[in-house]
A and B are shown apart, each in its own frame.
Chain A
């Protein structure tokens, strides 16, 4: 299994600002992903973080709003840009192990 940590665990931000969320894995992994969970909803995939190339975004998510970095096989960042109250969610990093997916503890973001 993989152990995943995220920073920050939670934050309260003002409208119009940006927040960068960090994801660190305790082992090298090929596949890393970022999900969003809006209040009362299930998880929605934002993008696949590709090492050495641009992230692959799902329909409805764009790089200008959610830029992602993946400098190596153990680390990734997700930035939520120009935030609005609709961005208030839990953001989760996940990795694909041998057969199953593992998730980080999440970052709880509130935008005022």
Chain B
């Protein structure tokens, strides 16, 4: 059974810092990995999707990397802003490819 772990569970940084969120998964036979953002009490917003054939995917100040062989992904946020404060979740498809297993998330607080 796939297990997804995210480290750290919480992170507090001053505005302007670059930061890295980590995600690891136990079954490396995945065909993609998604990073989501969740604001308190709200739904999920898809940030980045990395296919298994890709090593990196970028969107604005966000860069996600994927190393299937080691079962790891990182989300890099450049020049963090208070508006980046949210919980960041990574998720991988289960066998059958339609449903997702989620990590518990990293709660990020960026202070002005």
Question: Footprint of B on A, CB under 8 Å?
Answer: 1, 6, 31, 33, 41-43, 45, 48, 90, 92, 94, 96, 99-106, 108
Interface residues of B in 19-58 (CB under 8 A from A): 32, 34, 36, 41-46, 49, 51
Whether A101 and B42, one on each chain, are in contact in the complex, defined by CB atoms closer than 8 angstroms, is: no
Residues of A within 8 A of B102 (CB): 42-43
Whether B43 and A45, one on each chain, are in contact in the complex, defined by CB atoms closer than 8 angstroms, is: no
- Most chain-B CB neighbours within 10 Å: which of A99, A100, A104? A100
Whether A101 and B100, one on each chain, are in contact in the complex, defined by CB atoms closer than 8 angstroms, is: yes
Whether B43 and A103, one on each chain, are in contact in the complex, defined by CB atoms closer than 8 angstroms, is: yes
For the residues of B in contact with A, the DSSP-based class is strand
Asked, given contacts A99-B51, A100-B32, whether A42 binds B103 with beta carbons under 8 Å apart, the answer is: yes
- Cα A48 to Cα B102 with chains together (Å): 16
Whether A31 and B98, one on each chain, are in contact in the complex, defined by CB atoms closer than 8 angstroms, is: yes
Whether A105 and B43, one on each chain, are in contact in the complex, defined by CB atoms closer than 8 angstroms, is: yes
Whether A108 and B98, one on each chain, are in contact in the complex, defined by CB atoms closer than 8 angstroms, is: no
Whether A99 and B104, one on each chain, are in contact in the complex, defined by CB atoms closer than 8 angstroms, is: no
Whether A100 and B98, one on each chain, are in contact in the complex, defined by CB atoms closer than 8 angstroms, is: no
Whether A105 and B42, one on each chain, are in contact in the complex, defined by CB atoms closer than 8 angstroms, is: yes
Whether A104 and B49, one on each chain, are in contact in the complex, defined by CB atoms closer than 8 angstroms, is: no
Whether B89 and A102, one on each chain, are in contact in the complex, defined by CB atoms closer than 8 angstroms, is: no
Whether A41 and B104, one on each chain, are in contact in the complex, defined by CB atoms closer than 8 angstroms, is: yes
The 7 A-B residue pairs whose C-beta atoms are closest, nearest first, are A103-B44, A106-B43, A105-B43, A100-B49, A42-B102, A42-B104, A43-B102
- Cα A33 to Cα B93 with chains together (Å): 13
